[in-house]
Structure 1
């Protein structure tokens, strides 16, 4: 059976393909249970064969499914199907079910030609709106790029693939492998390229790259290989956008260069601050000289080459002719005197470094706390023991750190401690758990409100016949009430249709069996005799007033049964003999 014609998990019909990425194919599909069109993303076989990835992929997709912003492509479901080869070998097929969005990928918009300035700002504002929502929910995207942004036919921005990048990166050991899976390193943050811990500020960096590309038609860093591009993200400073395209307002230079700062702490603190700066620049608010100087000081790093490159990127900002100098420069004699003093100091330091004897920086009785954040508790304990330190444990709920992994250590890594000292390891116990409230007997709207109050979300809603329950009343929930689940989890509901399926009781049912079948459905039943047709033994049903099919609960049903004499019971008249 071809992939295009199959039904996944007995529920999702897979139709024609509508897209292809570096790690998955996207198909138009249909949810047979809820009766709605969907988009189905099916992961490639290389990823599907990795059991560790499948587990993280499912957990991250569940996390992403809790987001319901209009700027985010909704994730409805995630699952795994099995495909069997001709030789009987079974292969897992992980998939996710998403909102079907009609529109164009932002990468196709960029490829079509120059993007108007107003549209560029509006598209990035939409991306930041999605990130502002997701970061508040504790979800870091990790793979913001034009290929993961949709522009709907109405012009709305929708960001997709939340959670997938994390599942990929957690299953890859090197930058090269991660790059192969994600398809490009052009939008990596420096910390991603170096394999450091990634937080929400990595998404802001990637968004800055997208803004740069929208404004200039090219990415800030280009190279012959993904590794070469990743190296530039770490060590090179970009040209200001106005140096590439003269028509770009210099106010946007300041926004882009701030977003592309190598140090995460030098970037915007959050997506809201990025949006505010972008809106101000779009309105034509040029940066002041003080703001430019502050930006330059913020982005200058300890590396002289990096500082020089950054200075070149800021050249146009600093040479704004509208900004007048208010103080004369220092006399030339003082400049040369300062250079001479600096040269003497540098030579003195060099001689001192070359002549001092090596010393042991860490006393023999001291130990340095190793980096344990992100390790499992057992692995962290082993790392401490290798450094002659012991561990104490404190559990703490976390929606972003997997259960059992270390959130932080007290003292932090790099601190010197006495040998055999104790280090407090704060270990994630997973998301905060909440108890599913009683929902049976509520209306669907009441149940949804109760879930929201409890910190849970509404999952799938299935409708089912219940003979004695009014329409839209909750029959059951999954998980059931009083069960502890992770905060934000989805709870599925079964609600009553308010109808029952009445069988056809004519012909194949005796009158008694027909009455029992209808009474079992909580219907009221009356029997009417029809003397115009012969009775059978046992009596059967000639007709019914309701059904077959769905009827409202507690419907009154009249059964008509033949009660006339049988054909053989009729008395025939005779002639007497004379």
Structure 2
């Protein structure tokens, strides 16, 4: 840890380095304004030199910050740092993002220890797909799903991170080689990414299929000497089913589970996006069915493989040419001969006829090219006040349904999210659900006085609060471990998760030295301390008037509450 405290944007303290990647390094940090632990991702200075990238990065980070889901690492803030420690100057600011601090390990570190059990692989894949289901509904495509961007928390939950960053990076890179150098590896690229084409949500589903493949087998489906060689295989090569790569020590039941998932993985990794699952929901449903369904036969699996990855030499040749144009890599060599020239021209002619036919059909069906007159588009409402959102929905001829929801990061009365998301097309008069922030969740401090420490802790946890420090205090009328008071009075409403300190009875009182006191004075002092006096006459010593304590049955110091103390006094002549 650096000996000099570094503060970014006037509020974020940068602490230990906890991770490093090809385009950024991540530090543990602390938000001095909100008083919470955070993670700070600081982008590489080479990326920071590109003004266009910084603009794209800021826009994508803002889009990611609007997403709030348990399976997605929250983005709290984004900005640019001009301090020397960040590696930049005032003219060369370095972008950073402030994220939720997740306690756990990267999925890539889990896979590094070997293939996962099927039940764990399916559970992690389901978590990734759940995050993608939410982000795709919000109109955000991740573009860089890989084990290095997935965290497994200490409780086994899945957290996907780096939404939006991949788009900013890929948009600023002109070749496949540049993009893979920055983002990391081409092992999880979809074929359309490898060819530099436009991508949509189905590219994320392809990458999720590759991650599932690696979790089941412990290795990536395609490997090569360069990123371009790997990208070429994504476009033209057929992956082996995961069950064919199983270890010999797999038991038969585990192998059957993997065979049941083979068709799911192959479908997700189809070269043609239209042959993949339509969305993350379909992918998740297929996984659920596979876990409890029947195992496909080799003939069925072979038929599926032929359907998804059938021979297409023209496609492979065009891909090779495209990749050579997009990359400066000269190590890639052709692995198969090209088709006859006549085939190519025939294919071009057929494609031209099809395109013209489709164009004529579109113009005939929709000459205006616009939306139906009844169509309404859901406006962007996240972060706006509820009243403002209502006005905009009325202008769009849409109805609003309000659902209040606690959120510590969104101002009270402002919109957290909408269902459906902004940009969705609806019919006139349809409803949009607005999730409106009520601020941080509140809890009421329960009655604690008179409870044992264990019972008080249980009561705090049930109320959504936490037990803080516990101190002891002598009380003559209270037994050991009973709560005397709390730092927050019972019935007080406080933010959920607030720490409450307790004061409990020690169960002892301090016994003073009473020798030399009159018997009446000593008896009164013991009663005041919650103790009982037992006078004991001693005839073999000279008595006094008034009677005086000559000895006590217990030495001065702490004694249990309610103890009986013998007070010896002399009665002799």
TM-score after normalising by structure 1: 0.56
Check whether the contact 1:459–1:491 (CA below 8 A) recurs between aligned residues: no
3-state SS in 2 of match to 1:91 = coil
Mean Cα displacement is larger for which, 239-248 or 183-192?
239-248
Check whether the contact 1:66–1:490 (CA below 8 A) recurs between aligned residues: no
3-state SS in 2 of match to 1:22 = coil
Residue 21 of structure 1 corresponds to which residue in structure 2?
21
CA apart distance, 1:295: 2.3
1:211 aligns with 2:212: yes
Residue 185 of structure 2 corresponds to which residue in structure 1?
184
In 2, Cα distance between the equivalents of 1:143 and 1:438?
37
CA apart distance, 1:23: 0.5
1:283 aligns with 2:284: no
Residue by residue, what CA displacement relative to the aligned partner does 1:318-353 show, whole Å, maximum 9, x if unpaired?
A: xxxxxxxxxxxxxxxxxxxxxxxxxxxxxxxx99x6
Change over 3 Å in CA distance of 1:438–1:242 after alignment to 2? closer
In 1, Cα distance between the equivalents of 2:88 and 2:36?
35
CA apart distance, 1:257: 1.1
In 2, Cα distance between the equivalents of 1:494 and 1:154?
27
1:258 to 267, 276, 289: 267
1:151 aligns with 2:152: yes
Residue 55 of structure 1 corresponds to which residue in structure 2?
55
CA apart distance, 1:294: 5.9
1:99-118 equivalent positions in 2, closer than 5 A: 99-118=100-119
1:171-570 equivalent positions in 2, closer than 5 A: 171-245=172-246, 247=250, 248=255, 249-283=258-292, 285-287=294-296, 292=301, 295-296=304-305, 298-301=307-310, 303=312, 432-434=379-381, 436-438=385-387, 453=402, 460=409
Paired residues in the alignment total: 376
Change over 3 Å in CA distance of 1:196–1:151 after alignment to 2? same
3-state SS in 1 of match to 2:64 = helix
Change over 3 Å in CA distance of 1:438–1:300 after alignment to 2? closer
In 1, Cα distance between the equivalents of 2:278 and 2:233?
23
Check whether the contact 2:14–2:40 (CA below 8 A) recurs between aligned residues: yes
CA apart distance, 1:71: 0.8
CA apart distance, 1:425: 9.1
Show structure 1 runs of 5+ residues with no match. Answer: 308-349, 370-410, 440-449, 463-473, 479-484, 496-578
In 2, Cα distance between the equivalents of 1:461 and 1:34?
13
In 1, Cα distance between the equivalents of 2:33 and 2:169?
30
Change over 3 Å in CA distance of 1:455–1:63 after alignment to 2? farther
In 2, Cα distance between the equivalents of 1:414 and 1:172?
36
1:81 aligns with 2:81: yes
Residue 33 of structure 1 corresponds to which residue in structure 2?
33
Residue 9 of structure 1 corresponds to which residue in structure 2?
9
In 2, Cα distance between the equivalents of 1:117 and 1:128?
16
Change over 3 Å in CA distance of 1:3–1:65 after alignment to 2? farther
Change over 3 Å in CA distance of 1:486–1:270 after alignment to 2? closer
Residue 395 of structure 1 corresponds to which residue in structure 2?
none
3-state SS in 2 of match to 1:96 = strand
Mean Cα displacement is larger for which, 126-135 or 97-106?
126-135
TM-score after normalising by structure 2: 0.56
In 1, Cα distance between the equivalents of 2:276 and 2:194?
17
Residue 137 of structure 2 corresponds to which residue in structure 1?
136
In 1, Cα distance between the equivalents of 2:90 and 2:58?
23
In 1, Cα distance between the equivalents of 2:34 and 2:351?
65
Residue by residue, what CA displacement relative to the aligned partner does 1:505-542 show, whole Å, maximum 9, x if unpaired?
A: xxxxxxxxxxxxxxxxxxxxxxxxxxxxxxxxxxxxxx
CA apart distance, 1:258: 1.1
In 1, Cα distance between the equivalents of 2:178 and 2:138?
28
Change over 3 Å in CA distance of 1:198–1:47 after alignment to 2? same
Change over 3 Å in CA distance of 1:54–1:489 after alignment to 2? farther
In 2, Cα distance between the equivalents of 1:100 and 1:360?
56
Show structure 2 runs of 5+ residues with no match. Answer: 317-339, 372-376, 389-398, 416-421, 425-432, 441-573
Residue 527 of structure 2 corresponds to which residue in structure 1?
none
Change over 3 Å in CA distance of 1:200–1:68 after alignment to 2? same
CA apart distance, 1:128: 1.1
3-state SS in 1 of match to 2:239 = coil
Residue by residue, what CA displacement relative to the aligned partner does 1:437-495 show, whole Å, maximum 9, x if unpaired?
A: 459xxxxxxxxxx9994999978468xxxxxxxxxxx7x989xxxxxx99999999999
Check whether the contact 1:66–1:489 (CA below 8 A) recurs between aligned residues: no
